[in-house]
Structures are given as C-alpha cells and as structure tokens.
Structure 1
C-alpha cells in the first residue's frame, strides 16, 4: 500500500450515499438483492434497483492479472461452479488468508479470462432454495461491468444510484503484489465512472482507507467493524497485541477514525442492537456517539430469516423461515443509522416508507 498519511484535503464533493436531503436510512443492497438471486450477479444487482435500493454493495477481490472482480471472498468454491470444472482441478490448494486456513480455489490463482468462464451459485442454498434455482444462469462480474450496470440503471430509473465497494483482504493482496489501493482507483479512472454518482469505499482494514484518503480518492470512506476480534492489518503488524475492533467504537476510537479522514463507520447488527436484562431488544448509542465524532453510521446486515435475527426476534419454522424481521429493521432504522445493508432491499424500503408516513 501507499505510505499512510492523514491528508484528505484533495478529495472532492461527490454526492454521499446517505445525503441529508433524502429519507434516511439509505438502503444498500448487500451484494445485490442477494435474498432473491445468487449474490454478486447481474440479476441480483438489477433486481436490487428495481426493488428500491439506493446503492449496491460489491465485494471486490483481484485476479492473478490484476483485474478486480466481484466475489464474496478470495475462495470461490461456495459461490461458483469451479469445483465441478475439471480444467481447474489442479488449481485447488490450501492457503492461509488473514489467519484462517482455507482449502479451495482462489481468485488470485486465476486470470480474468479463466474466471469469466465460471457460473455463479447460491452460497446459502439450504436457507434460500428459491435463489438456488437460479444456479448456473449468471457469470462472474468484474468491477467495470458493474460500473456500467449501475450507470445504465441510474439513467433508466432516473435517480442517482450508488456503489458501496468493499475492498476485501487488502493486506493479503498487498503481500501478493496486487495493491487494491492502486488497482481500485485505476479501474474507476479507466471506466470513466460518473463523478456525480454516489460512491463509498469500505474495508475491515483501516490502513487501505487512510491510504485512499491520502491519495485523494473521491468517495465516502467507511470503516467496517466486526462484532469481535481485531483487523488483519493490525494483526499483521502487532500479532496478538493488535488493538481490537472494540477499541474503534469507543468515543476516543471514533474520534481517531474521523481524524484519519474517514467519513463513516459500519457496524455489525450486534453492535447496533442489544438485549436488556429483561429480554427487551433495544438500540445502542453507537450512531449518536459516531455522529458526535463527525461520522455517519452504517449497519450490516438486515436479513429476515430466523438464522440471522437476534434470538428474541426468532419465530417458528426453522432457520430459513422469516422471523420478526420488521421489529428488528424498525429498531435499526430508528437508531440514527445513515444507511443499512439488506439482502432484501424491498423489505428495508417498506419499513422506511412506513416511517416516512408517520
């Protein structure tokens, strides 16, 4: 990565994902309308905008030849048909990625031409069998194709549509000679992507966001905060002594993020809601405290299935059945969040519309 500084003065005035002149929170389709179609496919992104999403969230990783592609992770056996493709059998391997040992097929071992031959499958087939009926219908997208798709959808629907780009495993890719903080701005420039379109960049690693700020990348820069653990860039430097994500959501930690030129913090649902001693589900004060530091708060991920809801919001029917999702969605939307990620953008939008009529 580039040397890290805190000078963000060269960034421009691109529209925000969650501007103050529109109803909040902004609805970000998590990997597209991934509750209805296999994630990160053209169909998932097209459907997301049709269902009312303000922006879509691609997870971005790199190929061996430096092309940015859109996949949930570097290991792709759960989201493509690669395991059934004999021509790629020799590429199966075991690697350590950010401290986790993984066996499978990795994007950085493929050229874009090879990845482009794969077909996408539903990652959560047991929970979302309807989405799995679309397995094999869509190919892997590269970032430039999604930029074209968003531009076309914005013109067709006559409203500003944005992208919240998650740069995955930045430290890992940097170690392979594939610096995402250089590849991402280069792809935006090569695509000539519309500077009037809302753009945010997010990462679980602060270093790459600060690097992008220093480079003058014109985007909201949003730091992702896990429910537990420590970020990979800090672990790479400090090992077991690395500061945890918990430190980033203290008042001092939030102020430090803002001082580095970041504009937002995006927290796991468990940091936005908590269960009281008598079993009630209530919002935390994270959005209020982030706003006091000058940061917008995003929340991930709103999903209606029991498997993803807090225990007190789960209903009968099994993990794939809908729980009391509306109560959870309403609590998050009333918490002060500027934007929410949702696998089913229509459900999140329906809650926002109900609140707007109050």
Structure 2
C-alpha cells in the first residue's frame, strides 16, 4: 500500500480544510463552550498545539498490527503515541496482541507442537475457540510469527506474514526510548485487554486460575523500565473497575500518576464487562465503584450500558476520581445511517462504502470538552469499508474525516495510517491561522 502524501496545491488544501470546518459548525452552535484542557501537570507535552496522533496498533494499515515493525513505521510517519494492547502469558509476561486468542493474528495453527492447546473459552460473555496467550510461556510465543488479521481488506500486509515475532511490552517501551531522539519524544498508549478475565474469571488450559492483574503488571513494567513521565503515557481500558483501581491504589502505591482514559463500546448496545461480572457475582459494588453508583440514574447493575457513562453527572464524577480522557467509538459520536445501496467510492470496482453521517453529534462530546476532558475517538482507517459519506452526501476520505474530528474539538484520535493523521493535523493547523483580510 503506498504511503499518503499531503496535497501540494494550496487551493485543494484550503478547500479540504474549509469543508471540515464548515461541516462542524452546526454541531458547535448549540454545544457548551469547551474548557481548555489542562496540560500544566505534565512534564512532557507531545503533539502540536495540543493535538496528537495515536498510531492504532502501530501503522497497522501498512504492517501487521502490534509488531515492532508496525510501531517503528508509525514513528517514522510522525505519530506521537504508539498503542500496544496488553495480554499476559502463562509465566506472567505482558505481550502485545489485540486479543489473548491468537489464531487470527499469528501462525499458531501451523505449529503441530501446539495443536493440543486449541480449546474453547468464554471471554467477556463470548465463546471463542482457538489458542490463548495465557496457555503459552513467553518463550513458546516467541516461536510464533504474526500475520495480517484482516487480509481480505489489507492484502498488501500479507507479504509480511510469517516474518515478524510477537513483541513484549518491554520491547515496545525500548523502541519508544530508542526512537526518542533529536528533540523528538515518543509516547505509548497501552490498553489492558480483558482485565476482569485475567484477574478474576479466567483459567488456564489445565483449569487453574490465571489471577493476574494486568494493571499491576503494566505499572510495574513502566516503573522497572523507567517510563513513567505522565506526558508520555496514557492507560486505557473498556472496563471501569480496573481504571479506578489503577488511579486509587496501584499508581499511588508505585509513587506515580498517569492519565487514564475510559474507552467506550457502542453506547446503547455494549456494557463494561466488569459491571456484568461484578453485579452477576454479587460483589460489593459500593466498595468497587464508590460514588459513581449514585452518579448514574438507577445505579450500576449487569444491564448498565456505556450510555450511563456519557451523562454529565457520571462524567463529572469520573473526572474527579479517575479519568483524564475518553475514548469513544467514532460512529457512536458522529452517528451514521445506512445508504440505500453501497457505493464504489474509490473506483476499484467493489462497492464497499455503505453509510452516511446523519449530521447528529452525540452530546457526550460537548459535555466532555466542557469538563476539560481529553477526547480521543477510535478508529480512523483509510480503506473504503471503514469510510462514510458526509451528512450532505460527499464521499469522505480518511483525511477529510480527520479534519472533521479536529474541527469538532477532539485533541487526538486513533488511526491505522498515521501519516494521514499527521498530514491532517498539519493541514488543519496551517489553514486555521487567521491572517489580515486584504482587499482583492
């Protein structure tokens, strides 16, 4: 896949920027005035004018995700942060995979010595069959090689299949350190994957409990590797309890403070899995969630969805007690509707663009910005199946989408093609400069 290059024609740059800014103006008209996000408590401030580009699993649009080569390319393309998803091995090491089930991202199925480790497990309520990191030692995982997860969409990435090893979290930190030179600083944005599963619910292949706190392992690794600058690390999770525990117990115990980001699934359909598990197991919810229960109408139970965490009272409590930012799905904030028929927007003979933005912006964006929270939506991708039309029916590229997000006020976003994000930020900042109006 060729790399994206910033257009050089000034008229095109002006047109793209104006399009994004105008598309956002209606959403801003009724939103509360955003408070300026405080940045003074950070030793290092990455990005440009408060805007960051987060390489989603590395430059995963160009290399198999979560490999050191994907992270290295993302850094070369100008990303400020690289994002590793963290799962644990049998011997308690943190490795970087999108999921602990690895049949879709490695060649484990081609290793007959591991055939007997294929099994079925129910993780976060979903039954999965395959191979799981918690049933392998780190040394065993190091014999595997990565492969492209969505080969039908990114066939070019399959040329790297079978070549790239599974990376450890320590190796990702080492890479960020190594590439932080010549005045440039690289940050990391780790996500704990299925923390309730690893800590409380999950078992190894032999039935023994896993009992690993991903939060404790994550913080211990950051401390051991000397990577604790709060301007270079965000920690994110789709669960709530582990973030509260990080903020109130794990980080203070380690003597450090790092910004935490609450991820969101679909606001109405999805639920934080720790809500489901803890309520279902009749845990002491007051001890786990404290005042968040009172901030949510109806409290917390196994049916409480992410929508409950978008209301002002909940956001206010979250900011005061554990979060620095939110990571919502982009389609939950800028709502989409299906097109009557799919379109071939990129002219490759396949009609894969299937939605149009409705023009409605979910109020969580204005609420969060007004409270001074960071907002980092996920995931911008350049391929046609992930794109949409604008509300007025214009086919929207990843560059146009990135411009729209910056104009709506977010401070960063996750993107699979970091070079496009960097180009969009450059274009947005260039065309946002106000110059004196001169007579024609």
TM-score normalized by structure 1?
0.88
Structural mapping, 1:191-270, within 5 Å: 191-193=225-227, 195=229, 198-214=232-248, 215=250, 216=252, 217-227=256-266, 228-239=269-280, 241-270=302-331
Q: 1:174 aligns with which of 191, 199, 202?
A: 199
TM-score normalized by structure 2?
0.72
Bigger shift: 234-243 or 215-224?
234-243
Equivalent position of 1:309 in the other structure: 387
The reply on whether 1:130 has 2:156 as its aligned counterpart is yes
Equivalent position of 1:86 in the other structure: 112
Secondary structure at the residue paired with 2:378? strand
Q: What is the deviation of 1:259? A: 2.4
Describe the superposition over 1:117-151 as per-residue Cα deviations: whole angstroms up to 9, x where unpaired.
Answer: 11000101110011111111110000001100000
Secondary structure at the residue paired with 1:96? strand
The reply on whether 1:114 has 2:140 as its aligned counterpart is yes
Distance in 2 (CA, whole Å) between partners of 1:279 and 1:78 is 31
Describe the superposition over 1:197-250 as per-residue Cα deviations: whole angstroms up to 9, x where unpaired.
Answer: 610100001111111111324211000011131011000022473311011111
Distance in 1 (CA, whole Å) between partners of 2:150 and 2:102 is 13
Mind listing any 5+ residue stretches in structure 2 that lack a counterpart? 1-39, 201-209, 281-300, 339-355, 432-440
Residues 1:281 and 1:328: Cα distance change in structure 2 (over 3 Å): farther
Query: Is the Cα–Cα contact under 8 Å of residues 161 and 197 in structure 1 kept in the other structure?
Result: no
Larger Rg: 2
Secondary structure at the residue paired with 2:376? strand
The reply on whether 1:77 has 2:103 as its aligned counterpart is yes
Q: 1:340 aligns with which of 413, 416, 430?
A: 413
Residues 1:276 and 1:127: Cα distance change in structure 2 (over 3 Å): closer
Describe the superposition over 1:87-135 as per-residue Cα deviations: whole angstroms up to 9, x where unpaired.
Answer: 1111100000010000000000001110111100010111001111111
Equivalent position of 1:54 in the other structure: 80
Equivalent position of 2:25 in the other structure: none
Query: Is the Cα–Cα contact under 8 Å of residues 62 and 417 in structure 2 kept in the other structure?
Result: yes
